[in-house]
Amino acid sequence: MKELVRDSFAVTVKELKELSRDPVSLALTIMFPILLISIFVVISQAFGASSYNIPVVVADLDGSSVSKVLLDKLTTSPLIRVNQFVQTDEQAVQAVQSGMATGAVIIPKGFGQALLSSGHTYVILQTDNSKLTAPLLVNAALSSSIQAMLDEATQTGYTGALSGFKAAPVDVIIRPISGRPPSGDPFLPGMLGMITILGAFDDIVNAITRERERGTFPRLVLTPINIFSVYMGKMSSTVVINAVRTTLMLIIFALSGLVIRGNIIFIYLTTSLIAVFTLSLGLVISSRVRSSSTLTILEIALTFPLFQLSGAVSSAETLAPEGRALAYSLPWTYGNDAIRRIIYLGVGFNAIAVDILVLLLSSLVLLPIATLLAKRTM
């Protein structure tokens, strides 16, 4: 019995010593369940938003006192933020197409007179359906603002612009500018972005961490080849593998009936830059995390929040302010946004230039850091 206890104690000490040699792995082993639950709590709080601030432009072609009542209701809605008033419906459409707004509310000429005389009129809502749930929230904000206006007009003692009005419906005519139809699959483009991210993380495990575990990475570094060239070579191979993944996903898109409106070359460019940025971040992490199992745990831990924060299954506009700020601090969010706009809106390079620039600059910042850390930890 004493021998059993002694041997068990010896193995316990040995295991703890091995774990203590890799403090990052030890910390993750202890903190991973807590970290994962905490992430879910943060994400759920981010979605529990009392207001969304989804950007909307308004074209008041009527300019009457009645339309101004509706505008007052719109500007106080907790769901949207009216960030610009334009003069024509063409300007409203352009604002949505350029990505400056998710929706455009167009109040037609004669709106006020029609509402007071016949009690029936309409408002036009132009939406960008590449934004997942955001257009639905814009529609809800417009509908609730109209209802609030009508309810106020029918209250006893009301003396405003709609005095004497008898309750009647106001139709909301929804005209998606482009993008997926309301019944279309909203998640496929986001899945392409997530597959690119997870694939690049797997490439890190295969290209760096497992090579270190096999003892071949130090030998490679000791050759006359510069460490930067080593990283660039591994990055180039990731771009090739990512192109194959992207091709397979585009085939799946075609078989599922998804229409790609934009240039396919821009899709390859965007997914390649997402992969390069992910690989650059992974190279920085792998300079400190030496175990492939630890890196895999990190990959799993990042997967769940990235589904929500990077725009894979929901648009950043639907997050609470803290969640939205976190989402827009992640270059992946810009990559997923670019993929959606290319596929659903058919935009050109100018429309995604900012997204491309964010991914490119982020990679250019991280790659030298990864190279410096690698030299210090050989």
Confidence category of residue 176, pLDDT binned at 50, 70, 90? confident
Rounded Cα gap, residues 319 and 136, in angstroms:
14
The pLDDT tens digits for 203-212 are 666 666 666 6
Instruction: Tell whether the model's pLDDT for residue 46 goes beyond 70.
Output: no
Does domain 54-178 fall under CATH 3.10.105.10? My reply is no
The pLDDT tens digits for 316-349 are 777 777 778 888 899 999 998 899 889 888 888 9
* Token representation of residue 336: 């997923």
Of 252, 253, 306, give the one whose Cα is nearest residue 278.
306
pLDDT at 205: 61
pLDDT at 274: 92
Higher pLDDT, 104 or 211: 104
The answer to whether residues 291 and 209 touch, using CB atoms and an 8 Å cutoff, is yes
Average pLDDT over residues 101-124: 83
Rounded Cα gap, residues 268 and 244, in angstroms:
10
Average pLDDT over residues 126-133: 79
pTM for the whole structure: 0.70
Lowest mean pLDDT among 31-45, 63-77, 217-231, 335-349: 31-45
Lowest mean pLDDT among 53-62, 129-138, 183-192, 194-203: 183-192
Instruction: Tell whether the model's pLDDT for residue 300 goes beyond 80.
Output: no
pLDDT at 305: 75
Average pLDDT over residues 173-181: 69
Average pLDDT over residues 292-317: 73
Average pLDDT over residues 247-253: 87
pLDDT at 284: 80
pLDDT at 11: 56
pLDDT at 362: 92
Separation in Å, CA 143 to CA 123, 172, 205 = 10, 7, 50
pLDDT at 264: 93
Average pLDDT over residues 29-46: 54
Mean pLDDT, all residues of the chain: 77
All residues at 6 or more sequence positions from 164 whose CB lies less than 8 Å from its CB, including other chains: 116
Higher pLDDT, 230 or 183: 230
Higher pLDDT, 116 or 10: 116
pLDDT at 36: 53
Give CA 11 to chain center in angstroms.
47
The pLDDT tens digits for 211-229 are 666 666 666 666 676 666 7
Confidence category of residue 183, pLDDT binned at 50, 70, 90? very low
The answer to whether residues 82 and 74 touch, using CB atoms and an 8 Å cutoff, is yes
pLDDT at 239: 82
Percent of the chain at pLDDT > 90 equals 10
Average pLDDT over residues 17-23: 63
Rounded Cα gap, residues 306 and 40, in angstroms:
11
Lowest mean pLDDT among 35-44, 53-62, 265-274, 358-367: 35-44
Instruction: Tell whether the model's pLDDT for residue 294 goes beyond 90.
Output: no
Domain residue extents for the chain: 54-178, 184-376
Average pLDDT over residues 144-148: 87
Number of other residues whose CB lies within 10 A of the CB of residue 153:
20
pLDDT at 154: 72
* Token representation of residue 148: 């609030």
134: exposed, middle or buried (Cβ count in 10 Å: 0-12, 13-18, 19+):
buried
pLDDT at 207: 61
Higher pLDDT, 98 or 270: 270
DSSP H or E run through 57: strand 54-60
